[in-house]
Amino acid sequence: MTLNVLILGGTAEGRVLAERLASDGRFVTLLSFAGRTASLQRPQTPHRVGGFGGPEGLRTFLQRERFDALIDATHPFAAQMSANAVRAAHAAHVPLIRLARPAWRPQAGDRWTQVVTMADAAGAIGDAPRRVFLSVGRTEIAAFAAAPQHEYLIRAVDDFDPGLPRARVLAARGPFAFADELRLLRGEAIDVIVSKNSGSDATHAKLEAARSLGIPVIMVEQPALPPARLAHTLDEIVAWLNALHAAPVARREV
Ligand code: NAP
């Protein structure tokens, strides 16, 4: 028999997991995207796009589509979705596992200021006008309206109107290479970087470039998430699924 698996995506790891499970006849997967980007790169594996309608909507979806397992492979900053997953999985009696991506840690030579919110990040840039490389999402830009004295270069997947007086958008999708990041930071005479601590390999090179140029980084740390069973690698998730598949009677009780 097959195990019906819903994967909440938004990360490269979610896609890789769906592809990996596609070649295993024991599992049927559906990969779910929020639909945040206009230029969604559709995977080859079965997928859907759009919200479920809160935790209650997700619970209904899990039960109606008879899912046996829920995998939270969302972005570390997608805190609402991760919280919804915990509530819905509990209510629907569907086992849940979350892929926990470790945050980046400062290394020798880094000049980080670690903050909790985007508003804190905007304040930490300081009063004097600076050239800021904003590596944050479109939905988070509003916080920087409180610091209009700075010039912003915003890198985002899609182009958009940032609604800030001195801001440009650089539409680009990672992964980004060290040499390109170095060129960008130098060429744009960037004074400071604001970044979310996504822990992603695809966007880490900017931090190495910042270190080598001595550029300070304001790092917005990952939000706290409600407790859930955690996996740190895709292998751990596959092992968990293997165990669920091997215990068909018990699996809905987990
Ligand atoms: P969020 O605030 O956690 O989620 C808001 C709502 O979006 C959820 O309640 C859910 O709507 C829907 N949603 C989120 N992920 C979903 C998924 N995988 N499948 C279906 N619906 C989903 O997350 P966010 O608004 O997407 O982003 C918050 C932060 O994460 C931002 O910092 C953003 O830059 C970052 N981020 C997100 C993604 C992504 O793919 N979502 C990728 C990269 C970075 P319902 O309540 O209606 O179910």
Which atom of ligand 1 is least distant from the CA of 136? 34
192 lies in a domain? yes
Do 241 and 161 lie in one domain? The reply is no
Do 68 and 91 lie in one domain? The reply is yes
- Give, as one character, the DSSP assignment of residue 4: E
Which residue range forms the structural domain that includes residue 23?
A: 3-102+224-246
Q: Given phi > 0 = left and psi -120 to 50 = alpha, else beta, which region is 101?
A: beta
Do 81 and 178 lie in one domain? The reply is no
Do 209 and 120 lie in one domain? The reply is yes
Q: For 38-60, what is each residue's pLDDT tens digit?
A: 888 999 999 999 999 999 999 99
Do 128 and 207 lie in one domain? The reply is yes
Predicted confidence at residue 194, as pLDDT, reads 98
212 lies in a domain? yes
The pTM for the full model equals 0.93
Counting the structural domains of the chain, the total is: 2
Do 85 and 159 lie in one domain? The reply is no
Q: For 52-83, what is each residue's pLDDT tens digit?
A: 999 999 999 999 999 999 999 999 999 999 99
Do 116 and 87 lie in one domain? The reply is no
Do 205 and 122 lie in one domain? The reply is yes
Predicted confidence at residue 37, as pLDDT, reads 86
**Token pair in block for residue 16:** 């890789």
CA 156 to chain centre: 13
Atom 28 (ligand 1) nearest CA: 78
Best residue among 11, 48, 81, 155 to mutate for probing ligand 1, ranked by most atoms within 8 Å of CB: 81
pLDDT at 251 over 80: no
165 lies in a domain? yes
133 lies in a domain? yes
Do 98 and 162 lie in one domain? The reply is no
pLDDT at 253 over 50: no
131 lies in a domain? yes
Do 25 and 116 lie in one domain? The reply is no
Do 93 and 157 lie in one domain? The reply is no
- CATH number of the domain at 28, please: 3.40.50.720
Do 85 and 173 lie in one domain? The reply is no
238 lies in a domain? yes
254 lies in a domain? no
Best residue among 61, 77, 87 to mutate for probing ligand 1, ranked by most atoms within 8 Å of CB: 77
107 lies in a domain? no
Query: In sequence order, what DSSP letters do the residues of 159-208 get, joined into one string?
Result: ------TTEEEEE--S---HHHHHHHHHHTT--EEEEE----GGG-HHHH
Which atom of ligand 1 is least distant from the CA of 198? 44
Three-state SS for 83? helix
